[in-house]
Amino acid sequence: MERERSTLELNESFSKRFVFKDGFGVELNRGAIHRSHRPASVVSSAGASSGVGKETAVALAARGARVVVACRDAGKAEKAVREIKLRSRSLAVVGMELDLASLRSVRRFCENFLRREERLDVLINNAAMPGVLDWTEDGFSMCLGVNHLGHFLLTNLLLGRLKECAPSRVVTLTCSSYKYQKLDLHDLNYNLLPFFTYCRSKLANVYFSHELGRLARGKGVTSFAVHPGLVRSEWTRHYSLLFRAAMRVLAWMLSASCEAGAQTVVYCAVSDEAARLGGGYFVDCRPATLRPFARDAGVAKKLWEASERLVQPP
Positions annotated as catalytic residues are 198
69 within 8 A of 44, measured Cβ to Cβ:
yes
Q: Is 302 left (phi over 0), alpha (psi -120 to 50) or beta?
A: alpha
Helix (H) or strand (E) holding 43: strand 41-44
Which ranges in 216-296 belong to alpha helices (H)? 241-254, 258-270, 272-277
Query: What is the length of the chain?
Result: 314
* Residue closest to 132 by CA, chosen among 123, 142, 124: 142
Q: CA distances (Å), 133 to each of 72, 82, 145, 193, 239, in order?
A: 19, 33, 12, 8, 11
Our CA angle for 129, 96, 271, nearest 5°, is: 75
DSSP three-state, residue 242: helix
